Amino acid sequence: MKAVIQRVSEASVTIDHNRVAEIKEGLLILLGIVATDEVDDINWLAKKIVNLRIFNDAEGVMNTAINATNGDIIVVSQFTLHASTKKGNRPSYIKAAKPPVAIPLYEAFVKQLEHELGKPVQTGEFGADMKVALLNDGPVTIIIDTKNKE
């Protein structure tokens, strides 16, 4: 599982001119899933994200996690995070999990994230053509790959 985590002042997801998700301060998470992802990846990633100390404390230092800020989260599926650009100029998405595998993992990740955060998490729609808008705060953008835990 690969996640691009962006600290935002606001973010939204629109599908067919309908806003399906909208938050103020919080995190926008783009999530890519591969066929070898499993429950351990979900649990580790959700816990890691909720405990990342990337929000400013009273002294203006990034020392506070989202669960202490009462911030919100939007999760958007994004198979292109697993693009391979090694050969040629057209990315290959062969590593990205197909929907029958990816959808249950995506849904399980959202549920685990809600459990860790202690409140509902908003989402886009798996496989839909989405328009994602955000105001990146910082900017703070962190990439985490569960296959390369650094």
Please tell me which residue in 14, 55, 69, 80 is annotated as part of the active site: 80
- On whether the CB atoms of residues 86 and 94 are closer than 8 A, the answer is no
Q: Would you call 126 a catalytic residue per the annotation?
A: no
Handedness of CA 131, 128, 122, 91 (dihedral sign): negative
Cβ-in-10-Å burial (0-12, 13-18, 19+) of 139 comes to exposed
Please tell me which residue in 6, 78, 112, 123 is annotated as part of the active site: 78
Q: Would you call 80 a catalytic residue per the annotation?
A: yes
- Nearest alpha-carbon partner for 33 in 85, 93, 113, 102: 102
Pairing of strands 26-32, 72-77: parallel
The string over 29-53, giving b where at least 16 C-beta atoms fall within 10 Å of a residue's C-beta and e elsewhere, is bbbbbbeebeeebbbebbebbbebe
Please tell me which residue in 55, 79, 122, 146 is annotated as part of the active site: 79
Q: Which residues are catalytic?
A: 78-80
